[in-house]
C-alpha cells in the first residue's frame, strides 16, 4: 500500500486471510440471488420473457491492509 493500493470486489473469504489483507467491496450475495429469483419467478408465472432491468442493492467497502491514504 505504500506504492500502490489494490481493491477487490466480492469480499471472498481469502481477501481477509492473505497478507496484506485485501480491501474489497462486499456485496449482499444472498439479496442478489433473492432479487433475481423473485423477478424470474414473477415473469415465468406469467409466461413472459423478462426484460432487461437494473436493481441497486447496498454494498460495503471493507477497508483492509492493501490500501493506504493518497500521498500528499
Q: Does residue 18 have a cis bond before it (omega within 30 degrees)?
A: no
Task: Using alpha carbons, list the distances in angstroms from residue 13 to 16, 28, 31, 36, 37.
Answer: 6, 14, 18, 23, 24
> What are the domain boundaries of the chain?
7-62
- The pLDDT of residue 3 is 86
pLDDT digits (tens, 9 = 90+) for 18-66: 999 999 999 999 999 999 999 889 888 888 887 888 889 999 999 999 9
Contacts of 52 (CB under 8 A, 6+ apart): none
pLDDT of 61 reads 96
Residue with cell 473469504: 13
User: What pLDDT was estimated at residue 45?
Assistant: 85
Supply the pLDDT for residue 42.
Answer: 87
pTM of full prediction above 0.85: no
Amino acid at each position: 500500500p505504500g506504492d500502490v493500493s489494490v481493491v477487490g470486489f466480492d469480499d471472498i473469504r481469502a481477501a481477509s486471510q492473505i497478507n496484506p489483507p485485501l480491501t474489497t467491496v462486499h456485496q449482499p450475495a444472498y439479496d442478489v440471488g433473492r432479487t433475481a429469483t423473485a423477478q424470474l419467478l414473477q415473469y415465468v408465472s406469467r409466461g413472459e420473457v423478462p426484460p432487461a432491468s437494473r436493481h441497486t442493492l447496498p454494498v460495503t467497502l471493507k477497508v483492509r491492509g492493501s490500501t493506504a491514504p493518497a500521498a500528499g
